[in-house]
Amino acid sequence: MIVKVSPEASEELMEAAAWYELESPGLGEQLIDTFEQATTKLSAPNPPLVPVIGEARKRGAKRFILQQFPFSLVTVSNNQTITIVAFAHHLRKPGYWHNRVSP
């Protein structure tokens, strides 16, 4: 599978990494490494994706839950491509990314 990252998800990742780096030097870099490891897992056959709740589920949105940080990669897929549409915190602004999933 080819993994693409939307500009919005990329920006969310960079903002989160910058915040973590300010909190504890090296932690932002660790978040980026965790993200990169997750994208590698997404590119493998049968990635461990979990359906999302609500309307976005009907449109095929799924998430990949990061293990070390309170974030999920919200994805949509078609044929050979998985697109990360959001780098979503588990507790902040639930569902803000729903409009990024095409009907």
**pLDDT tens-digit map of 64-103:** 999 899 999 999 988 889 999 999 998 887 777 777 887 5
pTM to 2 decimal places: 0.88
CATH of domain 2-93: 3.30.2310.20
Q: pLDDT band at residue 19, thresholds of 50, 70 and 90?
A: very high
Q: What is the mean pLDDT of the chain?
A: 89
Section 54-73 average pLDDT: 86
The 3-class SS string of the chain reads: CEEEECHHHHHHHHHHHHHHHHHCCCHHHHHHHHHHHHHHHHHCCCCCCEECCCHHHHCCCEEEECCCCCEEEEEEEECCEEEEEEEEECCCCCCCCHHHCCC
Domain boundaries, the chain: 2-93
